[in-house]
Amino acid sequence: MEHRSESNDKEPIDDATVKGGAGGDRAALRQIYEATADRVFRLMVRMVGQQDADDLTQQTFVRAFTKLDQFSGESKFETWLYRLATNEALQHLRREKHRRTKELVVEPTADQTDHVEQDERVAMVRTALDQLDPELRAIFTLKEESGLSYQEIAATLGIPEGTVGSRLNRARRELRRLIGKGR
């Protein structure tokens, strides 16, 4: 599966495109996929790791395309799609019942002289994320990696906004504790 950034990567999917896709318009389905596949894939990498991200991204789109007619339009299409993707990831994690090291993409720093120290920090963060409860990892990933608002995360996960805030704080505290323990 090829994941590439499109120039329209951040533009929301409009209602006409969703309706077209629900009606079987292949061009509309392609437009939805091309506009959102990178974001869904990145979410999957953070949630389940590189190894399973492709398959789960594909499963998410298969499920989304078969359920397009169920999209009510009460939230942004992307929020609905993130909810499907997050549910796919959480179901996968429950089925697997074990956690693997997750990929965490770290932006390159201006000073690349200390790769060893950076690699150690990345490994510490990966290990800490891996140890987080999947629900906390989902909230942390949706906020910190995907940039969703509390309201969007609440809609994505089907939980109250206040719960998002408290779980995000808990995830951050737990990550700090786990990273501090690893030093």
| Tally of domains within the chain | 2
Of 98, 128, 151, the residue at which a domain comes to its end is 98
Q: Which residues contact 65 (CB under 8 A, 6 or more apart)?
A: 21, 29, 32
Do both 15 and 94 map to the same domain?
yes
Residuewise pLDDT in 10s, the chain (183 residues): 444 444 344 578 888 999 999 999 999 999 999 999 999 999 998 888 888 899 999 999 999 999 998 888 888 899 999 999 999 998 888 777 544 434 444 555 455 556 666 667 777 777 788 788 888 988 998 888 888 889 989 988 889 999 999 999 999 999 888 888 766
Residue 98 confidence (pLDDT): 44
Q: Is 104 part of a structural domain of the chain? A: no
CATH number of the domain residue 154 falls in: 1.10.10.10
Distance CA(46)–CA(111), nearest Å, equals 25
The tokens describing 95, both together, are 């089925």
Residue 128 and residue 77 share a domain: no
| Residue 93 in domain | yes
Q: Which residues of 10-34 are buried (b: 16+ CB within 10 A; e: fewer)?
A: eeebeeebbebbbeeeeebbebbee
Half-sphere exposure of 113 (CA within 13 A, CB side): 1
Q: What is the pLDDT of residue 32?
A: 94
Range of the structural domain that residue 145 is part of: 109-183
Task: Please give the model's pTM, rounded to 2 decimal places.
Answer: 0.64
* Residue with the two structure tokens 């499920």: 63
CA distances from 50 to 45, 92, 119, 176 (A): 5, 13, 17, 24
Same domain, 79 and 20: yes
